[in-house]
Structure 1
Amino acid sequence: MKLIIGGAYQGKKEYVRNKYHIEEARIWQGGYPVPDGEWQCINGLHNIIRQTLQSNVYQESQQEILAYVRGLINKIPDIIIIADEVGCGIVPMEKGEREYRECAGRILCELAKEADTVERVHCGIGQVIKQTVYISLIRHGSTAGNLEGRYVGRTDELLCDKGREELQERKGQGVYCVKESGVLPVEAVVTSPMRRCVETAKILYPDITPVIIKEFTETDFGLFEGKNYEELMQDKKLAPLYQAWIDGEGKTPFPEGESLEQMRRRCAAAFEKLLPMLARSRHTALVVHGGTIMSIMSSFVTPKEEYYACQCANAEGYLCRLELTGNMALYQMRCILRIL
């Protein structure tokens, strides 16, 4: 749903017609109720609010209108709703006008939260206030090191045969299409420069050239790189260091490597720089590493998640909804689906 607001006679309807290529016959411009039809746009939510207020008690009207509009959205998910902006000047003396302004303001606030896009039109010129896009955070397929339980960070492994087969099988099952969420197909792909990520992206999205972000590489595991639990515990030099890292619940720096916080800051900074690119596509896939996914999720997702709570296995991930402000800052990021 798109919400278009602005002052009276500011060219809102013409703006919508020109930008979204909507025919006049597909725009409902009457009041309440909206008749059945192939509507693409409802022009005049403010009129519906006024009409309902005139015939009902104020509090009942607010809930009734919200329920009614949400019903329209359920029927037509891509509906565009146009409403006059509520004035923010002198409080009107007339009781009915005060109730209208308060009711309209509260309803528009609720709809703005639910809308994919909110735009304000002034003198026929539109300004995006809020934009919604989606990202799939997908961990690369399995490598030989992954199957052996090794700490594979800066080692540039390719996928193993099992990893390739698993990706092809899951792709064939439609796992990465996330159709049940109603989200559009992936339009852009971002990867780490590591070969296991680039290869995974080519398997899942062969027709899209990925954008490489070097800051999205996996954690630098330092002295633990390439080793698994058994090897580390049997190494006289590394065993005490490894046990100390375990006792620290994985929050202390890897010896001669990165700390959890260094990894998070690196990935979070790169993700914020990426937001303008993400805004240009309705759905972008980030094919990266487990540590990269945990860093992004624990830094930005609402409600807040701990770093290790965001772990996912190879070839798994998360689908997230991003709400961006007009200046491409991240307003909110929510996980809406686990990709298993």
Structure 2
Amino acid sequence: MDNASTLLTFARETLEIELAEAQRLLARLDDNFVRACELLLSCRGKAVISGIGKSGHIGKKIAASLASTGTPAFFLHPAEALHGDLGMIGPDDVMIFISYSGRAKELDLILPLLAESRIPVIAITGGTASPLAQGAACVLDISVEREACPMGLAPTSSAVNTLMIGDALAMALMRQRGFNAEDFARSHPGGSLGARLLNRVHHLMRTGDRLPKVQESADVMAAMLELSRTGLGLVAVCDEQQKVVGVFTDGDLRRWLVQGHKLEDPLSPAITRPGYRLPEQWRAGEALEALHEQHISAAPVVNVEGELVGALNLHDLHQAGIG
């Protein structure tokens, strides 16, 4: 067997073992999991996640997942907790302690203090008879029959199980709270997701002198000059009440001239009716999807009465980090 085949075999064996161990987690979702969710849903403070070594690394990810999906949480290193940071835990908090063996030496000092303060502990452990399990309000069993490490030493299958049970908690809590995409975006305002969900069309649209518009009573020449002035690729055509009755685009202009018509002709027969328009209260992400679905690059923006209030194109959305 050559090196490539050997490496692929090792990789497949690792994944097969981890997948098999992860599959066993499904049968362990019981009243303990429900109790853990209830403790976190009723928590008036924060979820404090703690663990050491690989458990600590995964604990940081679990804390981040909880915090971004509606459950306030932070990670506390057990060693730092024993040197002053236990003061970060308040009486309304819930502790999630991760230890595969359930016998981490820091527990001997931390658990009695938590019990004295009546702070409930959720144990994520493979040691269901360990001191951690015995001192916990509920136990999430992540035990494995076999680590993927051929020596059985490096946390592999057990690390995957820990990560998965943390995700199961975060997603169950998120859905039970009714946490939605806009809530998620509020904790991610700096990324493209936040830009898509928090920005509304009226935040990004062109207004004032940058807004291309003509009256329905104008001629084609006036619309062409407005197209050239703004460079948006379309002009919103409005009636006397400033309601959009259609659009006049670069394509409309070319077709009009090819058909032998003149620039001095009335505009009304040359416009596209009713034309596509964007509601001003739509999310920016909705506007982007709509423009793509309509195969257009720009559209006028209207209020609930259908009156012209702005215009938006793909470039405006891309500049805002959307797309």
Give the number of the structure whose residues are more often strand, by fraction. Answer: 1
Same fold (TM over 0.5): no
TM-score, normalised by the number of residues in structure 2: 0.28
Query: Which of the pair has more CA radius of gyration?
Result: 2
TM-score (norm. length: structure 1): 0.27
